[in-house]
Structure 1
Amino acid sequence: MTTTRPDVPGPRQDTVESRIGAAFDDAGVRGFFFAREIDGERSIGVAADEPVVLASVFKIPVALAYAREAAAGRLDRTERHEVDMRYRDGGIGTSGCADPVSMSLRDLVHMMLTMSDNAATDVVLARVGLGTVNELLAGLGLGRTHLVGSCRELLGSLFAELGVSTEAEAHARMAAVVASDPGRVLELSVCVPERTTRSTARESAELLARIWRDEAGPAQACAEVRSVMAQQIWPHRLGSAFDDSYRLAGKTGTLPGWRNEAGVIEGPDGGRWAVAVFTRSDTPDLRNPRADRVIGQVARLAVDELRSFNL
């Protein structure tokens, strides 16, 4: 655990970190966490520099790359693209549509960030380019954040390792694997940071802080990403610990054993905090309310601690 809070005595530091660690323990997960002031330097971290699986949190840098390309005039936000059947995995949004779909790039980005539409993501990523996204991250000094492929490629590797061809078959197969050899789930490529799209909690929060300070690209591009992230429809993780007096913008991510969210929390007094929470459990449950709730719980603990210095 690491904490950076200038001029704060040790006992207070130990208290907040022990409470965050206890929250992860009580939820039955291993936690990786970093929160920082956007308009200051104070931060709190728990395993903040250890590698994590991004899952759909990787859609934030994809959106940023799109917005930077649009701001530079290298693509048109209104250009229309077919959501080809090969991109559709039967999930939400265009991923589950039965009939032909054509959308503008900016609407595809909206679907990608607000509801985590995988097919929309892959169309945007194909247009922007995987190399462009990774070059952007490297240029921002986020050397431990790296994308290895599209949603279709990540899921394809998962299906191949499980010996299945559909998401429904994958869930059934994973249940059987857990019953016989629980540790094998975390050995799947998509569950191992070094073998898949990855980052750290610190770098994920730092990226958000730069977007919110207009330091990750042109102000127009950063504002576009902020606006769409504020419309995410999932309230069950970060949002579970904050009432309507707080404004939230975030992006969730889920893969077997991993439940994540990275976002920005704005308080009623104007304070702003970038938060990234990644959790890993030994089981690939479709629903894990304790793991979902602890994401909001530790974010609230950190925000309350950081906020207290400005009261």
Structure 2
Amino acid sequence: MISGLLEKTFADVGVEGFVHAREVGVENGPEAGLGADDPVVLASVFKIPVAVAFAEEVAAGRLDETGRTLVTSRYRVGGIGTAGCADDVEMSWRDAALFMMTMSDNAATDVVFHRVGQAAVDAVLANLGLGRTRVLGCCEDLFASVAADLGTDDVEQVLGNPSWDVVGKLSIVDPERTTSSTPREITTLLDAIWTDHAASPEACGKVRSIMAQQVWPHRLGSGFPSDVRISAKTGTLPSVRNEAGVVDYPDGRRYAVAVFTRSQSLDLRQPAVDAVIGRAGRLAVDHLRSPS
């Protein structure tokens, strides 16, 4: 069975894995997965519904995406993109959304999130009946929870060199206490984006376009041939490495895939875990594409 094969694939690299895959636009079609209804930490995968809320604000005329915003030191938490810049950055709203999704810029995410609001993000999930998916604020709130859990404001240093004594106390790696979902609900969200049910067709098209520009090929994309288009979003926290997206084959068939992992290692670089996300996604999709 596919679940047993997936379980062995994850065990071979020493991680616990959770997967769900479905063909896009095929109602009540076949599925493949492992732990598809188990709660998982989203990490930056939560930025997908934020992107939908942003795109709908633009499509509805409530936000001029060419308008300018300033990413200030308030959001400068370190890492990639504007989050790691030494100075304030002025950019358009659409570029902030692009940075949020393509490189997982946490500062740009928070600026976008505060502009669209928690209620708009919650509405995206509620409208699709995703009752097990919850977004508890933005990156700023997640880092604040780390500070509260540990009683220190030096979050960047703690997460830059984590230990299990520290990580074991953190709500951000516990799906019961942080932004979380299930693999099945995330593929439901992706299917809705790709079939124009998550928001207006204009908004869904914008999200699809942005997700197709993601710059990271080392996880989900590593498992598929170069002629398969990958539109996805990664997520990373200590012990957590994820990716969810849509793989688009040359024959026109598309598959929503969500892969979540929990590792016993806290190494910042874990190439074997990154690669197993691609292998697991490919196994699930191959199962759906097999004629039997």
* Shorter-normalised TM range: over 0.9
What is the CA deviation profile of residues 61-107 of structure 1, one whole-angstrom value per residue up to 9, with x for unaligned ones?
Answer: 00000111111111111121110211111211111111221111111
* Residue 123 of structure 2 corresponds to residue 135 of structure 1: yes
> Residue type matched to 1:55 in 2?
A
Instruction: Give percent identity, aligned residues only.
Output: 56
Give 1:172 deviation, angstroms: 6.0
> Residue type matched to 2:246 in 1?
V
Match for 2:24 among 17, 33, 38? 38
Match for 2:42 among 49, 54, 59? 54
SS at match of 1:304: helix
Q: Which runs of 4+ in 1 moved over 4 A?
A: none
Distance, in Å, in 1 between the alignment partners of 2:156 and 2:193 is 37
* Residue 5 of structure 2 corresponds to residue 19 of structure 1: yes
Give the TM-score normalised by the residue count of structure 1.
0.89
Q: 1:171 to 1:147 in 2, by over 3 A?
A: closer
> Residue type matched to 1:207 in 2?
L
* Residue 44 of structure 2 corresponds to residue 70 of structure 1: no
Give 1:168 deviation, angstroms: 4.7
Distance, in Å, in 2 between the alignment partners of 1:193 and 1:68 is 28
Partner in structure 1 of residue 212 of structure 2: 230
SS at match of 1:285: coil
Partner in structure 2 of residue 218 of structure 1: 200
> Residue type matched to 1:149 in 2?
G
Which has the larger share of helix? 1
Distance, in Å, in 2 between the alignment partners of 1:61 and 1:129 is 12
Give 1:215 deviation, angstroms: 1.0
1:144-155 matches, within 5 Å, as 144-155=132-143
What is the CA RMSD across the aligned residues, in angstroms? 1.5
Partner in structure 2 of residue 4 of structure 1: none
Give 1:114 deviation, angstroms: 0.4
Aligned pair count reads: 290
Rg larger in 1 or in 2? 1
SS at match of 1:195: coil
8 Å Cα contact 1:271/1:307 also seen in 2: no
Give the TM-score normalised by the residue count of structure 2.
0.95
* Residue 68 of structure 2 corresponds to residue 80 of structure 1: yes
Give 1:137 deviation, angstroms: 0.5
Which structure 1 segments of 5+ residues have no match? 1-13
Partner in structure 2 of residue 156 of structure 1: 144
> Residue type matched to 2:232 in 1?
G
Give 1:166 deviation, angstroms: 3.6
> Residue type matched to 1:19 in 2?
L
8 Å Cα contact 2:124/2:199 also seen in 1: no
> Residue type matched to 2:9 in 1?
A
Match for 1:124 among 98, 112, 127? 112
Q: 1:163 to 1:284 in 2, by over 3 A?
A: farther
SS at match of 1:31: strand
8 Å Cα contact 2:65/2:93 also seen in 1: yes
SS at match of 1:90: coil
Distance, in Å, in 1 between the alignment partners of 2:201 and 2:161 is 46
8 Å Cα contact 1:53/1:196 also seen in 2: yes
8 Å Cα contact 2:42/2:235 also seen in 1: yes
Which structure 2 segments of 5+ residues have no match? none
Match for 2:94 among 106, 119, 125? 106
> Residue type matched to 2:196 in 1?
D
8 Å Cα contact 1:164/1:170 also seen in 2: no
> Residue type matched to 2:235 in 1?
G
Give 1:309 deviation, angstroms: 3.0
8 Å Cα contact 1:54/1:253 also seen in 2: yes
Distance, in Å, in 2 between the alignment partners of 1:215 and 1:225 is 12
8 Å Cα contact 2:186/2:244 also seen in 1: yes
Distance, in Å, in 2 between the alignment partners of 1:189 and 1:114 is 26
What is the CA deviation profile of residues 252-282 of structure 1, one whole-angstrom value per residue up to 9, with x for unaligned ones?
Answer: 0001111000000011221100000000112
8 Å Cα contact 1:185/1:283 also seen in 2: no
Distance, in Å, in 2 between the alignment partners of 1:139 and 1:168 is 35
Give 1:150 deviation, angstroms: 1.3
Distance, in Å, in 1 between the alignment partners of 2:273 and 2:152 is 27
Give 1:167 deviation, angstroms: 4.8
Distance, in Å, in 2 between the alignment partners of 1:188 and 1:284 is 13
